[in-house]
Amino acid sequence: MASFTAPVIEVGGAGSVGYARGTYAFAMGPTAAMQLSDRGNWLTIYERQSDGSWRIKRNIWNSDQPVPAPAPASR
C-alpha cells in the first residue's frame, strides 16, 4: 500500500443509530509505474449496544471509477 486516506465528511445520528460518511483514496503496487489506484465514497452505520458501546451494523463503499466493459464473447 503506497498511500491510503479516508477522511470523514459527516457524522450524525439519532437514538441508538449513528453514521459516518466520507471519501477514500488509495494507491498500491510494487513501483510507481505499476501502481493501481482508486477513489470513492464510504458510509458506515453504527448501532448502540446494551452496554453503551457502538458496533458497526452496516458498512459500504463505492468507487468513482466507471464499471469495466465486459470481456468480448468468445466464439
Structural domains in the chain, sorted by start: 3-63 (3.10.450.50)
The answer, yes or no, to whether residue 68 has pLDDT greater than 80, is yes
H or E element, residue 12 = strand 8-14
Q: Nearest Cα to 21, choosing from 48, 4, 40?
A: 40
Whole-number pLDDT of residue 67? 86
Distance CA 60, CA 43 (A): 5
pTM of the model: 0.78
What percent of the chain is modeled with pLDDT above 90?
75
pLDDT for 6 equals 96
Rounded CA-CA distance 15/59 in Å is 19
